[in-house]
Amino acid sequence: GDSVTQTEGQVTVSESKSLIINCTYSTTSIAYPNLFWYVRYPGEGLQLLLKVITAGQKGSSRGFEATYNKETTSFHLQKASVQESDSAVYYCALGDPGTGGYKVVFGSGTRLLVSP
Amino acid sequence: EAAVTQSPRNKVAVTGGKVTLSCNQTNNHNNMYWYRQDTGHGLRLIHYSYGAGSTEKGDIPDGYKASRPSQENFSLILELATPSQTSVYFCASGPLGVSAETLYFGSGTRLTVL
C-alpha cells in the first residue's frame, strides 16, 4: 500500500530560527505520486500549504519550501526563519492520480510550536 | 472562496446510537471525502464520492456508511456508534482531475461516543 511517515510528533523552535520537518513516503503502486504539505491552524480545517507534482522540483509558499526527492522518497518541509504565527500542525501527504479516482494519503502530522 | 461546512462542530453520542455527520460544499466539486483524525495517526480515509449518488469505501470503512444525495452534500452515518469511533472527523472536497489535486477541508467535527 501507500504510506507517509512523519517521524516527529512535535517540534519546538525559537522564533527566527530555521525549521525542518521530515517526511518520507512509500508507495507500491504509484510511479510518480503527487506530494503535498497541508497545515492546520487552531480551530480551522486543513489547508494546502504547497504541492509538487514533478520529481526533482521544489514547491514554495509563505516562506516554506519542500523538494520532491524520488531517490530518497522524501519531501521535507523547510523554512529559514520561523514566526510565532507558523505554530500549527503540518501534514505531509501523497496523492494517487491512478485508476479509480483520486485518493490522498496523509502522514500523522507534526505539531510546530514556535517560542518567542 | 472555496467553502466546506461541517455540522455539528461537536457531538456527544451514546453507544449503540445512530449518528449522522453532515458536510456541505459550495465549490461545485465532484469529489468529496470523509477522514478521521486520531492522535498518532494521519488522517485516515473512511469513504469518498465522485459525485451525486456515488459512494466508495476508503481505507477504514467498517462501521460507517456514506450518502451523497447531491453535488453539495455528503453525509457520514454511524448506525451503531461505538466508543472506538470517538475521533475528529474531517470532510473535504476536491475538483475532478487526475493531477495536482487540492483538497478543501471543513473545520472538523469532534465526536465523543460514551
User: Three-state SS string across B57-104, please?
Assistant: ECCCCCCCEEECCCCCECEEEECCCCHHHCEEEEEEEECCCCCCCCCE
pLDDT tens per residue, range A24-82: 999 887 778 889 999 999 888 899 999 998 899 999 999 999 999 999 999 999 999 99
A48 touches chain B (CB under 8 A): yes
Q: Are B25 and B40 a contacting pair, CB within 8 Å? A: no
pLDDT tens per residue, range B9-64: 999 999 999 999 999 999 888 889 999 999 878 789 999 998 999 999 988 999 99
| CA A43 and chain centroid, separation | 20
pLDDT tens per residue, range B49-83: 989 999 999 889 999 999 999 999 999 999 999 99
Closest CA–CA distance from residue B106 to any residue of chain A (Å): 5
- With bands split at pLDDT 50, 70 and 90, how would you rate the model's confidence at B97? low
B50 touches chain A (CB under 8 A): yes
Cβ count within 10 A of residue B9 = 11
A9 touches chain B (CB under 8 A): yes
Best of B4, B46, B101 to disrupt the A interface (most A CBs within 10 Å) is B101
Cβ count within 10 A of residue A29 = 10
Burial class (CB in 10 A: 0-12, 13-18, 19+), B62: exposed
